[in-house]
Structure 1
Amino acid sequence: MAETSTDAAASTDVTAGAPTAPMATAAEPTPAVPTAPESTAPGRTVLVRYFAAAAEAAGLEEELIEITGDGGDAATVGALADLLVARYGPAMARVAANGSFLVDGVVRRDRAALVGEQVDVLPPFAGG
């Protein structure tokens, strides 16, 4: 019968005479480096979709816009509204003043709200 010697660090198979490697231990996981959410980045590319009067003012239904706030601040709804008014003029100013901005599907009326991946620009709606 073949003899086998066992050691805590390594074992040797007496019949073959070759040492075997010790058992490997799991490495300590490297802690994740925290990163800021994308929506707080100073600048970002946003898909802006226009509807009804907003589409008429812009002359298109959607576009990708690189947006940054004043002085490198975070990209906000207010910064986007100002950019759109500067780009498309008085018709867009009326939409921006009275309409709605949906940021990733949520209405944002606060100009300081951060933009997301997609912003829908909606004109004011009449009725009740």
Structure 2
Amino acid sequence: MEELLFEVLWLFILALPIACVAWTVTHEEVFKEPRNFCVEKSKTCKPLVVRKFFYLFTCEYCFSHYVTILFLILTDFKLLLDDWRGYIIAGFALVWIANTYMSLHFLLRQAIVKEKTEIQVLESNK
């Protein structure tokens, strides 16, 4: 039981850097130019495989799968089972939790922007 609790704790903690990397690459200003390049290539390249390859750098959900694979390799994290099935379970669980974190982050940022805008409107009406 204690081992399962430890694995679940690892799951929720390991999903944090996965969400951070996926969000940063797909949304933040520091990666704007490479992301714009990938957006353009994902729309204009002829081969479907090439378009999909470039698209994965623009979608936080898609990119989080690849970040998760990297973190699974780095940490050797398995969930519930100690063989290859533990990697599969951990991978999908990490992607789901990381995307939940990113959704919460997006909603929080949206609420902050809305509040700042409302304050500016109120102050300009004084």
Q: TM-score, normalised by structure 2?
A: 0.28
Q: Kindly indicate which of the two structures has a greater share of residues assigned to strand.
A: 1
- Whichever structure has more helix as a proportion of its residues is 2
Mark the structure with the bigger radius of gyration.
1
TM-score, reference length from structure 1: 0.28
Greater relative CO, 1 or 2 (CA 8 Å, sep 6+): 2
